[in-house]
Chain A
Amino acid sequence: MATGLSATTPLVEARGLTKRFAPPARLTDMFRKERPHTHAVNKVDLTISRGESIGLLGESGCGKTTTGRLLLKLIEPSAGDILFDGTAVAGLAGPSLIDFRKRAQLVFQNPFDALNPRFTIERALAEPLVNTGVERATHRDRVEKALSQVRLPPLARFEGLFPHQLSGGQLQRIVLARALVLEPDFIVADEPVSMLDVSVRAGVLNVMREVRASLGLAALYISHDLALVRYVCSRTLVMYLGRIVEEGPTEDLLKSPLHPYTRALMKAVPVPRVDQSRDPLPIIGNVSDARGQPKGCSFRDRCPLAIARCADDEPALRSVAPGRRVACHLV
């Protein structure tokens, strides 16, 4: 793959990214014309610049994990394009695909599951190098370097150790080191600290922040946790039922959320203090079904502000202020 067309091309660009999942086939489907597909990701546009960290925020089932997997070509989109460093990801195969894999890595959510229990830590860290055909003589140096990047050097202290002998915080840093050992330009971190206890979580978050800054890494953090996104991401996208409903610089977005969904989400987060608002949330009922594709705004059933137009007319994600986009008729 060619290295960067120019400094201004975004590193990752998705246009109209869509992923539909077919429902499991049933016998009764023979009598139905069309089976409703689940629109996990629906016409998502996003760009990530070099060195930028973006938060993808949303509740379970909103499509945030699917978006991350699409961007890494772990699954194929139903429609839409992804450009990585100016090259279409869809066409990659053979050596160019391996090259892409080296440059775009995933950090898993559950460090206890992400490592093979029968591999030593050293082998787990070297595995990506083996798989992508990196010269064997350099492995030890590169593993050592990745470990110091996550502040766990030296490799010697893990000599002969297996994952079960490490704490959760250490394991999550090993999982991060394994993603870094290939010296990627882009990482997707899917709920990177949700499995960790509070007292160790902060350490992992600090390492992630440092690594990103010092290596100039572009990162997509997938999370349901607003506080985490605020801590590590400069820009945030809010996703609801497969669509991006709001986007903006993280601090602006948290200070003045514009979409009714973002506002409800902000209000719902409890804070570790006794004096906090306990007002009813400005939201109705539960998340609707992502099956089928109803007309209009996907949030309208739960929106306390919905008007007639919301039922017919799907709001486009449009620019409302510098760097801020919202998909709502009422903003």
Chain B
Amino acid sequence: MEPPVLDVRNLSIEYRTSRGIVRAVDGVSFSVPKGAIVGLVGESGCGKTTVARSITGVLHQSARIAGGELVFKGKDLVAAPAKEWLEKRWRDISFIPQSAMNSLDPVYRIGAQLEEVLVHRGGRTRAEARSRSSELFDMVGLNPARLDEYPHQFSGGMRQRVAIALALALNPGLVIADEPVTALDVIVQRQILDVIRDLQRKLSLSMILVTHDISVVAYVSDKIVVMYAGRVVETGSTADVLERPRHPYMMGLTNAFPDLDTAAHDLVPIDGSPPDLASPPSGCRFAPRCPFLLPRCETDDPASAAMGEGRSVACHRAPEADDLRARAKESATWLPA
């Protein structure tokens, strides 16, 4: 088997805050296989964006990598000199932001912004950059005749296409997309997801898609990494994790999600909210909200354990998952005690 493009090993990231050190990412491990889209999902504050930013090397200045490795194409970026990492950025690891509205410079023509990347980072000549820009516009479904327009002349969906074109300009080895469709309307969202899917198949892109939306992950990604309160709680193939979740958090989310296709069932919330990471619970971080709590869950932090092909779960009761899943479908299970 080919080695993964990116191997995140035991990554921890801390923020300095007024309330002390907050470990927003704590011992996160997962890998991105070559040519696959990995969906990194979780709720606000779970650390998914911090992980994504650490890989692109643009952490907030109050944050630092406290431990772990980011092995990209066989080389650890964390241990590498800063300059080397800097060179990887854009050329080999590119980024699609959430709001293309804010990431394009309003006073430059779109074509000029594409060419800038190609000339300064990619070392192309102006003429080469120009023809590559047209090619990129074609690729993301934009009319190359509009290269000379300004960002305000483009709609939200079109700007997101430009952001994708920018990210793909230098044939990167890894693309990181942070909530690339969250700000868009459903129809445009679907069109952008189709662009991402097509390009991934055509160019065999390796990609991390950060999102809070499980349906987005279900639509495009091959593999899913679920984060909760700074930890990875479950990973596996998208189909497997969504159909047979093994972590109680994931089981709870499935019930809480309104689904258009199935019969209108009553939605069941997960009681409570994620823990404060300035003082995380000593045991499992989901324990305060978990309906399947055992005494050991409150003291003993479950490690992530492999459960079959490409599957890992961080839960003491993972071996009983099939049983728990049946119980998780009953709304009474989730009612606060």
Where the two chains meet, the residues of A that have a C-beta atom closer than 8 Å to any C-beta of B are 59-60, 167-169, 197-206, 224-228, 230-231, 251, 254, 264-276, 278, 280-281, 283, 286-287
Task: Please state if A231 and B260 are interface contacts (CB–CB under 8 Å).
Answer: no
Residue from the list A60, A202, A204, A227 in contact with B268, Cβ < 8 A: A202
CA distance A278 to B191 in the complex (A): 10
Asked whether B119 is an interface residue with its Cβ less than 8 Å from the other chain, the reply is no
Instruction: Indicate whether A269 sits within 8 Å of B186 (C-beta atoms), given known contacts A276-B219, A286-B155.
Output: yes
Task: Please state if A60 and B185 are interface contacts (CB–CB under 8 Å).
Answer: yes
Residue from the list A201, A228, A274 in contact with B239, Cβ < 8 A: A274
Chain B residue, CB-CB nearest to A254 = B260
Q: Give per-residue flags for B244-279: 1 if the beta carbon is below 8 A from chain A beta carbons, else 0.
A: 000000001111111111001011111101000000
Task: Please state if A272 and B215 are interface contacts (CB–CB under 8 Å).
Answer: yes
Asked whether B193 is an interface residue with its Cβ less than 8 Å from the other chain, the reply is yes
Task: Please state if A281 and B190 are interface contacts (CB–CB under 8 Å).
Answer: yes
Instruction: Indicate whether A278 sits within 8 Å of B219 (C-beta atoms), given known contacts A169-B273, A254-B260, A271-B260.
Output: yes
Shortest Cβ gap from A190 to chain B (Å): 16
8 A-B pairs with C-beta separation under 8 A: A198-B257, A201-B256, A201-B267, A203-B269, A205-B258, A206-B267, A271-B259, A283-B187
Instruction: Indicate whether A286 sits within 8 Å of B158 (C-beta atoms), given known contacts A202-B256, A273-B261.
Output: yes
Task: Please state if B242 and A272 are interface contacts (CB–CB under 8 Å).
Answer: yes
Chain A residue, CB-CB nearest to B237 = A274
Q: Which residues of A contact B44 (CB under 8 A)?
A: 197
Task: Please state if B190 and A198 are interface contacts (CB–CB under 8 Å).
Answer: no
CA distance A218 to B216 in the complex (A): 33
Asked whether B325 is an interface residue with its Cβ less than 8 Å from the other chain, the reply is no
Task: Please state if B189 and A268 are interface contacts (CB–CB under 8 Å).
Answer: yes
Task: Please state if A199 and B242 are interface contacts (CB–CB under 8 Å).
Answer: no
Interface of chain B: mostly helix, strand, loop or mixed: helix
A-B contact count (CB 8 A): 123
Chain A residue, CB-CB nearest to B270 = A199
Interface residues of B in 113-156 (CB under 8 A from A): 155
Q: Which residues of A contact B216 (CB under 8 A)?
A: 270
Task: Please state if A270 and B267 are interface contacts (CB–CB under 8 Å).
Answer: no
Residue from the list A168, A205, A266 in contact with B260, Cβ < 8 A: A266
Instruction: Indicate whether A227 sits within 8 Å of B258 (C-beta atoms), given known contacts A206-B269, A270-B219, A276-B218.
Output: yes
Task: Please state if B187 and A264 are interface contacts (CB–CB under 8 Å).
Answer: yes
Q: Which residues of B contact A204 (CB under 8 A)?
A: 269
Task: Please state if B273 and A167 are interface contacts (CB–CB under 8 Å).
Answer: yes
CA distance A204 to B268 in the complex (A): 10
Shortest Cβ gap from B38 to chain A (Å): 15
For the complex of A and B, list the 6 residue pairs with the smallest distance between their C-beta atoms, beginning with the closest: A227-B258, A203-B269, A202-B267, A270-B215, A202-B269, A197-B43
Instruction: Indicate whether A271 sits within 8 Å of B269 (C-beta atoms), given known contacts A281-B187, A286-B155.
Output: no
CA distance A206 to B269 in the complex (A): 9
Residue of B216, B254, B257 with highest tally of chain A CB at under 10 A: B257
Instruction: Indicate whether A59 sits within 8 Å of B194 (C-beta atoms), given known contacts A274-B239, A287-B155.
Output: no
Asked whether B238 is an interface residue with its Cβ less than 8 Å from the other chain, the reply is yes
Asked whether B212 is an interface residue with its Cβ less than 8 Å from the other chain, the reply is yes
Task: Please state if A270 and B253 are interface contacts (CB–CB under 8 Å).
Answer: no
Residue from the list B157, B257, B260, B273 in contact with A226, Cβ < 8 A: B260
Task: Please state if A268 and B190 are interface contacts (CB–CB under 8 Å).
Answer: yes
CA distance A251 to B257 in the complex (A): 18
Chain A residue, CB-CB nearest to B273 = A167
Asked whether B188 is an interface residue with its Cβ less than 8 Å from the other chain, the reply is yes
CA distance A231 to B271 in the complex (A): 19
Residue from the list B190, B238, B268, B271 in contact with A270, Cβ < 8 A: B190
Q: Give per-residue flags for B33-44: 1 if the beta carbon is below 8 A from chain A beta carbons, else 0.
A: 000000000011
Task: Please state if B264 and A230 are interface contacts (CB–CB under 8 Å).
Answer: yes
CA distance A227 to B259 in the complex (A): 6
Q: Which residues of A contact B214 (CB under 8 A)?
A: 198, 272
Shortest Cβ gap from B1 to chain A (Å): 22
Residue from the list B188, B254, B255, B264 in contact with A286, Cβ < 8 A: B188
Task: Please state if A228 and B258 are interface contacts (CB–CB under 8 Å).
Answer: yes
Chain A residue, CB-CB nearest to B252 = A199
Q: Which residues of B contact A278 (CB under 8 A)?
A: 194, 197, 219
Task: Please state if A281 and B260 are interface contacts (CB–CB under 8 Å).
Answer: no
CA distance A202 to B258 in the complex (A): 8
Q: Which residues of A contact B270 (CB under 8 A)?
A: 199-200, 202
Task: Please state if A271 and B43 are interface contacts (CB–CB under 8 Å).
Answer: no
Shortest Cβ gap from A302 to chain B (Å): 9
Instruction: Indicate whether A199 sits within 8 Å of B253 (C-beta atoms), given known contacts A270-B216, A276-B219, A281-B191.
Output: yes
CA distance A201 to B252 in the complex (A): 12
Q: Which residues of B contact A230 (CB under 8 A)?
A: 258, 260, 264
Task: Please state if B187 and A265 are interface contacts (CB–CB under 8 Å).
Answer: yes
Shortest Cβ gap from A284 to chain B (Å): 11
Chain B residue, CB-CB nearest to A204 = B269
Shortest Cβ gap from A214 to chain B (Å): 16
Shortest Cβ gap from B41 to chain A (Å): 10
CA distance A291 to B105 in the complex (A): 26
CA distance A55 to B190 in the complex (A): 22
Residue from the list B158, B243, B260 in contact with A269, Cβ < 8 A: B260
Q: Which residues of A contact B258 (CB under 8 A)?
A: 202, 205, 225, 227-228, 230-231
CA distance A273 to B240 in the complex (A): 10
Residue from the list B188, B191, B238, B257 in contact with A274, Cβ < 8 A: B238
Chain B residue, CB-CB nearest to A207 = B269
Instruction: Indicate whether A274 sits within 8 Å of B268 (C-beta atoms), given known contacts A169-B273, A227-B259, A268-B186.
Output: no
Q: Which residues of B contact A205 (CB under 8 A)?
A: 258, 267
| Other A-B pairs, 14, CB within 8 Å; known A167-B273, A227-B258, A266-B260 | A59-B185, A59-B186, A201-B269, A202-B269, A205-B258, A206-B266, A224-B186, A230-B260, A269-B186, A270-B216, A271-B218, A272-B257, A276-B219, A281-B191
